[in-house]
Amino acid sequence: MTTDLDRRRGSPSASPIWREQLRAWRRVLNVPRVLEAAWRRPATTTPRSSVLAEGTHALYRYNRSTPAVHREPVLLCYALVNRPSILDLEPDKSVVRQYLARGFEVYLIDWGAPSQDDRTFTLEHYVCGFLKKAVDTIAARHGTPSLHLLGYCMGGTLSTLFAALWPERLKTLTLLAAPIDFSGRSSLLSIWTDPHYFDVDALVDTYGNCPAWFLQSCFLAMNPVRNLLEKTIAFCDQMDDVRNVETFFALERWVNDNIPVAGETFRQFVRSFYQGNALVRGELRLSGARVELSRIQCPLLLLTAEHDHLVAPESTEGLRPHVRAREIESKRISAGHVGLVASKRAHETLWPAVTQWCAERSTAAAAQNPAFVTNGTRAPAGASAAAP
């Protein structure tokens, strides 16, 4: 520590150059701890158990140490690209724990990685199949006709499709950076998928599934300076802070853990949404039924990021004129697509407000109800779930 006496005597430790040299040495000496942090990062931080499985898909319930306060559970629906672990990245940056702390039962769908045998899966398979089964399973376990559904990115699009087909099953719908209206050209993805430049049929017919390497290359190319240069420089500068290093590797492991997308789903998504904007035009049909956004009437919360280079805020906000929701609220923060769920700012300001919004639109759990269910049956009075 530099004292006033040191400064008066011209101590080298008072020099900015000297302090930066010390930081440089700490960064070098931290290399072994950096490597240790890279290997020890868990895939998820909150204990959970599987309650439904089908092929590569799984429905998880996160453990509670106390009975839930709210009757309606929360179901988290992530995209078909990457892993849903971003929603439970670290104990202090976990959307899952935000809802648990607010008193909810929390469930999450993990779509898994499709094999070549799964290349024929369509949107019907995901929305009318496993998502519907997950909602039915949760409702049966908790004896409630509706639940809170939260969809992130492409998972938000899937959630919107479900909400339009089965509006009575939702207490609320929360969408995080969900692409809905594809008429804008502010995102590079909208330009790259233009039928004049991109032949989705050729890609799917050649590879079967949309390859993970193709998706990763596209995401990196959308912001090459940030993805390939700036974050590397920032990491080297923060190597003297083990906590920042651990966060960096947690994000890097998730970002680079891409998975393929079922070929027919990718073809359908590009054609119907990016190239046809069929959802807001009312032209999309799933399992023979027209998807009518006007059927969505539950309270709706739209969450967007100002610096989102994947999904422009106006794409998510484009849902507003097409629904008949009793109330629609929007929240936007200064962050990127991932920062919505993984940044310190989001967990200090956004998520406490989001979970409170959901709590205010929930039904209180009955006093005699322990409010959590184990193995599909109501737990006896005084029982406790495993601690998170």
Of the residues 77, 308, 347, 358, only one is catalytic, namely 308
Whether the per-residue pLDDT at 255 is higher than 90: the answer is: no
User: Model confidence over 121-140: pLDDT tens digits?
Assistant: 999 999 999 999 999 999 99
User: Within a domain: residue 199?
Assistant: yes
Q: Indicate the residue type of 367.
A: A
Q: Which two tokens stand for residue 118?
A: 């799964």
Percentage of the chain lying above the pLDDT 90 cut: 64
Are 145 and 168 a contacting pair, CB within 8 Å? yes
HSE-CB at 123 with a 13 A cutoff on CA atoms is: 26
User: Within a domain: residue 12?
Assistant: no
pLDDT the model gives residue 377: 34
pLDDT the model gives residue 44: 59
Of the residues 153, 210, 298, 358, only one is catalytic, namely 153
User: Within a domain: residue 302?
Assistant: yes
User: Model confidence over 277-334: pLDDT tens digits?
Assistant: 999 999 999 999 999 999 999 999 999 999 998 999 999 999 999 999 989 999 999 9
User: Within a domain: residue 119?
Assistant: yes
Instruction: Say if strands 74-77 and 57-62 run parallel, antiparallel, or are unpaired.
Output: unpaired
Q: Does the annotation mark 70 as catalytic?
A: no
User: Model confidence over 182-225: pLDDT tens digits?
Assistant: 998 777 778 888 888 899 999 999 999 999 999 888 877 766 54
Of the residues 57, 148, 322, 337, only one is catalytic, namely 337
Are 90 and 45 a contacting pair, CB within 8 Å? yes
User: Within a domain: residue 347?
Assistant: yes
User: Within a domain: residue 29?
Assistant: no
pTM, full prediction? 0.81
Helix (H) or strand (E) holding 135: helix 132-142
Number of domains in the chain: 1
User: Within a domain: residue 292?
Assistant: yes
Whether the per-residue pLDDT at 101 is higher than 80: the answer is: yes
CA geometry: angle at 227 spanning 224 and 230, to 5°?
100
User: Within a domain: residue 7?
Assistant: no
Q: Does the annotation mark 322 as catalytic?
A: no
Q: Which two tokens stand for residue 157?
A: 């699009």
- What gap in Å lies between CA 276 and CA 286, rounded to an integer? 15
Q: Does the annotation mark 153 as catalytic?
A: yes
- What gap in Å lies between CA 104 and CA 351, rounded to an integer? 14
Instruction: Note down the domain range covering 351.
Output: 40-366
What CATH number is attached to the domain comprising 325?
3.40.50.1820
